[in-house]
Structure 1
């Protein structure tokens, strides 16, 4: 199934795209990291997330994503919102996700898997493996369909022009039908190049653009505490004119230069932006048990956000017998500009969520917009040392300067500044050929995201925050190919959510402590397993923490409640199991199962409402074969096999419908 892509720092712009095909991802010489097995650039028929994953913490390959974590949730926080995104290890201030055509894999770097990243960050790192054009001609075509009527086509080509120059071209068209009967259309296209004028010098420019539109389905906000009533499936509740339309762009240049043995200079310069030409937020608020509430439509004027970012890193590698030393000098910078706000509120009156909305589009007027400007640079030095058979040491020191200027209509500009020193220290000890222990401490200055759609200050960019992480654990090789990883962690950040007036603001501090485990690898040549668990103890502390203090204050700003001891979105238990089995009787045929369980999820700031625990099971099969000596794969899958009915949390006290059972598949052919 396609995964939704949206401008990462906006809750209002929506488009659909797909994670793309794999290629071998370069890994450092850290003993804690195992390189996933992936197909060559341009070949998609062999992609398989279960057989590619080195651990259970999060891997995306092609159209599949597995693992305990994803780019929006790692150890209870969002590394994407925090700004911890990398492209081949280089800093990227992501406004819109890199794009399906340019990703070969996505890895979640936490615990031991963060070794090899010279400047780790609290909340983990999202590392995109870039799809660099290769030396062989390749063309991949993919067509997908499910029983809701979703259909898509994708085409990707690798075209070597000479021994020193190659082109990569890609395009995709998606037509989506969602569980709430909303519809979306999306077009994505990209071009990349690889120029290698000498064996020691490489340039990789790229550009990708997306444009799409979507009929905006509602978010459901009950009156006071409690979950919404049972929501209708495959039923659109909203006016036909409430439709999003926008474009997004990513472009940049990756450069690698090795001027002499042991020296490497890597650089990345990126521009990421989106333009919301038209957007609406559809809210059904003050819902009662009978499904009656008020429908509000928030209409936005054109919204824009762009960021130019990059990193220049010089690395010196010194080999000394069984010891390898790496010294990194890094300079990162970003310049982000944002225009937002000015929305008009349209009250469509009392309605039932079981009846269609036929209200005509009224006249409305926008108000003045706000502007944010962020400038930040970070200079750092890091050391990585590895002693074969003994262990590994990673430490770093960074100095960052952050400045945000906020222009509010009719008010003098406001600004916030921060210039802290940041540091990291991680040690791994190899107690034997099979057992390694590790421990570390990391500090960070991170973004805290933007206010969600149900907040009074919706879309407002929030200030940077100081964060810290302590973790420790072990890795044990059960066999040469099966690895068991277990770790403890403690993350601390300021806590942002809806206050009593409906503003999304700092309410205290949140501490997430937990245990995470992973086991991954081929049990037999025909059976591969990836399984993991997270036991989390999240809690909020601060002077405002306490019981509910009153009833709802109004439909457009959310509930007036006290701050509970559990943060919104807290899930104390998560279990994941994935297996891929290839039977002996039919070469090319495989069966797979994915089962995920999570405990109840805290849904309101007070902590008095939770979404019940749920277990989801997906079943699938793939058949690899040849068509005129060309590799092909037919993939079929049933998602949410038992048709579990539940809610998805979209913000404090705001809900959407969990998609029910879906049948779908796709055919991939490598030409």
Structure 2
């Protein structure tokens, strides 16, 4: 066998290194089939880092040729031994989406959790909550704080890498990683202006400008700016939002590339009230009759004001023909003032109850992240190795403040206005901090043209500190996978991963209130197959089995880490172009989630809260040859019934929602122009859209959005 198999020799070093977590510099706008992209790999093989110029995916691409997340950054999805989904810019544009859930509804197993989504999207994947300070990443690296709607206007794509991801990301739940990839300046200049409105009075404008400049176009800059008025059609709702972002890159020399991403965004809206679960009677909960989907039990003065700033800097070095290094530094900051309210139903017939308002001002969150990696290739006899060794340090600081709660009479079915109450003095702050350090080693081993093994270890050093307690732990977690590629367009794999996650703090109602629980170790097995068919449609099928420790309450009323939930099931996905005229994104999940160990007898053998057994989605777009530039689309998104708590004392019903749309690309006054209409919840259904943590959320009403975009 050759020193390096032919497929490895054809894949340039930087692309191979990217598989292990060191992506080629600035190759963020990765190509779908038929698209061009800059390859830092080719140059790296010659001892350089390569050209930083990139181009966006070809027009109409619902599929993606690469993944940009974790140890698999810039790798072909066929070579990733886990379930991954990519929502491309073209899909986001076709659906007219601006929110995280709006994009991720195209991914099997994704549901809203706890909140209705009026202020930001709280997401669960496969019934497991996506942690808001660790599981959301910018450009595959920086953990951003998902406590405000993350704008999509400056994003090229949104990705989901499902399951345990601790090798690269440290202490995170095994729900998966959500990654936002920013737009960058490409070979062609970009100048576009867009605007949109809906029938409730919401309106926004968006400017997107990208240029390359300097000698040899060595520098690139992409600027995005958005401002708009928010209105979703629910009662007592109003607000505004803004975004300003910049993505800069600079090819300093043939061996050094620099990149800087900065974004600031804010949102000020009236937050929809949550509805608390009624008390159980004889072990069962009777859910209230659904209110109208325009209902908001909170007052317009009950604001959710939040802003976020994310900064990520990166340097890539080509050390030799076979070795390169990266250094990344980043900070994510979030601040919010909140008047969150919960409605407790007292009379299910009349709808009478009490609205409790919690004043939560001055909450701040900050993530500081450092990552450095060395990657290269060696050989041991006929076996080729591509090795990455890296170190990461993530510090997450939080400062929370609460004021006394306020109570008002309210009615679920005939809401009354809630009188304005001035801000009251906040309680003392309760700061906390988490430091997660990790040293990891990853080896991709080519046994032949068809067979490869991937194995890695991470040694984690974790500490968590509050004003009264401190906890420290050191853990080692492995990952290993085996992949067989019978052809260049198919792959079959098996993988085993151990993940690490935080377990939480004992609440005030328990005997050990305030105690920090030790981290837990989750385990995941996955078997899957992937194939590329037609004109670039990626098909994926996988069986997964996740064992996740959970907290429970023992006989002494202590909050302890003594339970376990198991999530196993089948997942399917398809994305890309079937023909020149038809493109689709489809997904399906059939899952058997179960609580297999707990100290609470009523929960044993039950389904974990908010975990659906089935979800599926289908979105397609038809582009008739007879009508150039015109496209029609439709989508259907189904979520099965979900338990409201671990005891399964009630379930919210399953629901299927329809979306419709059309867009027309043409030239007006000599300018490329896109005119578009999208309709979400076309049937205007009333439905519960979220549950969990003792809360219920109501879905949004039908929304019709008109949009126009002009390219200069």
TM range (shorter): 0.7 to 0.9
How far the C-alpha of 1:498 sits from its partner, in A, is: 10
Cα gap change, 1:78 to 1:336, in 2 (>3 Å): same
1:106 aligns with 2:158: yes
Q: Deviation digits for residues 53-101 of structure 1, max 9, x if unmatched? A: 8798352524542222559333332444482444444353545677535
Q: Does 1:185 align with 2:240?
A: yes
- C-alpha displacement of 1:152: 1.3
Alignment of 1:133-148 (within 5 A): 133-148=185-200
Inter-partner Cα distance in structure 2 for 1:118 and 1:507: 25
CA contact (8 A) 1:298 1:346 kept: yes
Which stretch has the larger CA shift, 602-611 or 347-356?
347-356
Query: Following TM superposition, by how much is the alpha carbon of 1:587 offset from its aligned partner in structure 2, in angstroms?
Result: 0.8
Aligned equivalent of 2:296:
236
Rate the CA distance shift 1:157–1:363 in 2: closer, same or farther, 3 A. Answer: closer
Secondary structure (helix, strand or coil) at the match of 2:466 reads: strand
Q: 2:231 matched to 1:219?
A: no
SS in 2 for 1:644: coil
Does structure 2 retain, via aligned residues, the 8 Å contact 1:403–1:417? yes
Residue 318 (structure 1) shift: 5.0
Contact 2:517 2:561 in 1 (8 A): no
Tell me the residue number matched to 2:230.
Answer: 176
> Match of 2:356?
296
Q: Kindly state the Cα deviation for residue 325 of structure 1 after the two structures are TM-superposed.
A: 3.2
Q: Does 1:366 align with 2:426?
A: yes
CA drift of 1:510 comes to 1.4
Alignment partner of 1:67 is 2:114: no
Inter-partner Cα distance in structure 1 for 2:676 and 2:546:
39
1:279 matched to 2:307? The reply is: no
2:68 is matched with none
Distance in 2 of aligned mates of 1:185 and 1:503: 44
> Does the 8 Å CA contact 1:118/1:396 hold for their aligned counterparts?
no
Q: Deviation per CA, 1:163-209: give whole Å up to 9, x if none.
A: 22232222111222124332221111122321221132111123211
Q: 1:387 to 1:593 in 2, by over 3 A?
A: farther
User: CA separation of 1:428/1:232 partners in 2, compared to 1, >3 Å: closer, same or farther?
Assistant: same
Picking from 415, 431, 443, the partner of 1:383 is 443
Residue number among 377, 384, 389 corresponding to 1:329 in the alignment? 389
Q: What is the rounded CA distance, in whole Å, between the counterparts of 1:273 and 1:544 in structure 2?
A: 38
**Alignment partner of 1:36 is 2:96:** no
Task: Trace 1:495-644 onto structure 2 (pairs within 5 A).
Answer: 495=550, 508-547=563-602, 565-644=606-685
Aligned twin of 2:218? 164
Contact 2:618 2:637 in 1 (8 A): yes
Note the alpha carbon deviations across 1:310-333, whole angstroms, 9 max, x for none.
311111035899976311011111
Secondary structure at 1:73 match in 2: strand
Contact 1:471 1:489 in 2 (8 A): yes
Instruction: Work out the number of aligned pairs and report it.
Output: 622
C-alpha contact 1:221 1:228 (8 A) present in aligned 2: no
Deviations 1:395-443, CA, capped at 9 Å, x for gaps: 1111010000011xxxxx2012221001100111123455432001111
Work out whether residues 56 and 68 of structure 1, in 8 Å CA contact, stay in contact via their aligned partners in 2.
no
Taking the aligned partners of 1:295 and 1:459, their CA distance within structure 2 comes to 28
Distance 2:400 2:561 in 1: 21
**Deviation (angstroms), 1:664:** 1.2
TM-score (norm 1): 0.82
1:50 aligns with: 62
Report the Cα distance in structure 2 between the residues aligned to 1:139 and 1:523, rounded to whole angstroms.
Answer: 31
After TM superposition, the score normalised by the length of structure 2 is 0.78
- Preserved contact between residue 666 and residue 673 of structure 2 (Cα < 8 Å): yes
Aligned partners of 1:467 and 1:492 also within 8 Å = yes
Match of 2:476 among 421, 435, 439: 421
SS of 2:62's equivalent in the other structure is: helix
C-alpha distance in 2 between matches for 1:239 and 1:333: 42
Query: Aligned with 1:400: secondary structure?
Result: strand
- Residues 42, 459 of structure 1: CA spacing in aligned structure 2 closer, same or farther, 3 A cutoff? farther
Corresponding residue number in structure 2 for 1:9: none
Equivalent-residue separation in structure 1 for 2:523 and 2:646 (angstroms): 23
Whether the aligned pair in 1 keeps the contact of 2:62 and 2:88 (CA below 8 Å) is no
Q: Distance in 2 between matches of 1:352 and 1:329?
A: 56
Taking a change above 3 Å as real, the CA distance of residues 245 and 129 of structure 1, as seen in their structure-2 partners, is closer
Distance 2:617 2:264 in 1: 34
